[in-house]
Amino acid sequence: TNVESQLIMAADTVDRIMHSPDDDQELLDRIIRAESMHSVALEVYGFHAFDMMLQSAAGKARVRKSGRENTLEEVSALLGRTKRVDTEDILYQFFDARPKEHSFQTAQESLYDEEIVYSSTPLDELMGADAQGEVHARFKTVGKYALKLLRNPNYSQDELCSPSDLFGMLAVVSNEAELGGLLRDVAMRASKNSAITFTTAASKRKPLFIQGSPDYVRGVCEQLPPDILRHLQVKIIRNAPADHIYQVAKFTCSLQMSDITIPIEFQFQTAADRANARLGKPSHMSHNAKQQGGPLGIITGSPSDLYVIYNRKHSIDPNGEFVNSQSIPHGEEMRQLYIQSRRTLSRD
């Protein structure tokens, strides 16, 4: 099928990236091809671990070409230590429950023998039968974490200045009322757990952060008790269409498990906001396209590259809806995406 063809081409691209050519432009073309075509398809079709593996390979290639392979080695060692803690054990610290039902996606990236795991857990397994939604969890990959360290001047290997999302969780629920209630319950439980300490991300002033329209911020905040509100920073976005606003609630913390400290970011979104964050105007690519900076020598790409990714996502899934991996009607769109990518690279 067309889906299988895309998987084969993505795997081939990863292999070609890791066998870096001497020519910088050829390598950059391969990286852009991976990030702007194959990664797009993998995410939309739900192959999250494969997507993470591909992006890690691209990130490693950028860092190696910059001469900062020591950063990759340090990050690989750091992740190797933290991954001794299982995802289920981390979930237990926040939900006081060990789910019976999980779904896992796994991938293996050859450089530094990196194992990638992306897990999804029904919320009713963690919060009881009445809870609706899902919690997704993953460790950051070596390539993505190393790039984050090098691109942001606020970060360093120092624990106090390191990125706050070495381990990330995302709870997706139906509506804002459910989101506020879940955030309240999880944050309160975390505040009472001696193994968890609220921390403040390098770009924030408080551990808990809520961003969105005035109604969104008000609706979520109304459900939070004073003990949580004192940790809160808000960003209200006014006078903007709903589909132009990135809405999210999240907190950052560190989890102490024996001798291992894990920086964690826990995000909460409605399903509609999640779809908008993936493919809408405030998508992650559009956000990153506005970012500048990073040490000289990193092959960073350009804002125009990131807008290409954004536009190609819409060519696959214009409504931001989940596309099942068995869905064949998108085969022609995928074929056109492949043709478009080849033309784009031939023009560059």
Give per-residue pLDDT as tens, 88-108.
999 999 999 998 888 989 888
Q: How far apart are CA 291 and CA 305, in angstroms?
A: 13
**pLDDT beyond 70 at 55:** yes
Give the three-state DSSP class for 114.
Answer: strand
* Block residue for tokens 């132009």: 244
Percent of the chain with pLDDT over 90: 46
Question: Which segment of 20-34, 136-150, 283-297 scores lowest on mean pLDDT?
Answer: 283-297
Q: What is the pLDDT of residue 276?
A: 79
Residues with Cβ within 8 Å of residue 195, at least 6 apart in sequence: 93, 255, 256, 257
Q: What is the 3-state secondary structure (H, E, C) of 73-108?
A: HHHHHHHHHHCCCCHHHHHHHHHCCCCCCCEEEEEE
Kindly indicate the confidence band of residue 245, based on its pLDDT and cuts at 50, 70 and 90: confident
User: What end-to-end distance do the CA atoms of the chain give, in Å?
Assistant: 30
Q: What is the pLDDT of residue 20?
A: 67
pTM exceeds 0.85, yes or no: no
Distance separating alpha carbons of residues 151 and 291, to the nearest angstrom: 9
Q: If phi over 0 gives left and psi between -120 and 50 gives alpha, with beta otherwise, what is residue 246?
A: beta
Q: Are 223 and 180 in contact (CB under 8 A)?
A: yes
**pLDDT for 215:** 93
Averaged pLDDT score across all residues of the chain: 80
| Whether the Cβ atoms of residue 115 and residue 133 lie closer than 8 Å to each other | no
pLDDT for the residue numbered 324: 36
Question: Strand 196-198 vs strand 208-212: parallel, antiparallel, or unpaired?
Answer: unpaired
Which of 144-148, 178-182, 327-331 is most confident? 178-182
